[in-house]
Amino acid sequence: MENRKDLFSLNGKVALVTGAAYGIGYAMAKALADAGAKIVFNCRSERHMEEALAHYKEDGIEAKGYICDVTHEDEVRAMVADIEKSIGTVDILVNNAGIIKRIPMHEMSADEFREVVDIDLNAPFIVSKAVIPGMIAKGHGKIINVCSMMSELGRETVSAYAAAKGGLKMLTKNIASEYGEYNIQCNGIGPGYIATPQTAPLRERQADGSRHPFDSFIVAKTPAGRWGDPEDLAGPAVFLASDASNFVNGHILYVDGGILAYIGKQP
């Protein structure tokens, strides 16, 4: 019997992680690199690219970055073609790039709605479509879509985000259904509330030393009693990218500290 630890090895694998210049995308890319994968990522900003490459280098990770807008099919096709030519077939795709606009639905313009759906749902379709032929030819592939608790729940001011992430959940299931016969597994990771620089203002102590109201709300709704850490996504990402998950397909793994399982304490 092979060493069970080898099931989690990504040695020699090429992993494309979209939007992995910072935040949870970077955390997942780092986890895949630590497991042996070659990391490729994209972002839309030259400034973010320079900062990200420096960050990867500081962490001892050789990563290749592309300036690419994943909502533009021609740019994505060109990026994937270059990856296949210069590094190799994409074995692992993490569709992480995404945005959120917190605007009450009746105040949100149709263009704002479309922008969120374009990045959070259309882009995963575009990038997945670009890498699937190579995965079919190779006879194996892993696609991980970064979903959300909003793939299951609604909340004030996030109508476009919830619609897109709900759609991404179903795109995940459909890719699994359509390409499972080619030994391609497509699953999702649904992060809970993660402590990142972007969410730091929501966790700052108030002038009187009390918690921020949103911080109190999240901690009270989470059985774990805390925000998630980007590192909490490392194990799930490696699992879904590795041979350990070869018979897991069409599943959404929620990494939320138990929020979706919990009705909350009685007042």
pLDDT digits 0-9 by tens, 183-235: 999 999 999 999 988 788 889 999 999 999 999 999 999 999 999 999 999 99
The residue that leads in pLDDT, 267 or 163, is: 163
Predicted TM-score of the model (pTM): 0.96
* DSSP states of 199-216: GGGGGPPPTTSPPPHHHH
Structure-token pair, residue 171: 């795109």
pLDDT of the residue at 2: 59
Active-site annotation, residues: 161
pLDDT digits 0-9 by tens, 109-163: 999 999 999 999 999 999 999 999 999 999 999 999 999 999 999 999 999 999 9
Structure-token pair, residue 110: 């149709």
Whole-angstrom distance, CA of residue 71 vs CA of residue 63: 22
Average pLDDT over residues 58-77: 98
* DSSP states of 8-74: G--TT-EEEEETTTSHHHHHHHHHHHHTTPEEEEEES-HHHHHHHHHHHHHTT--EEEEE--TT-HH
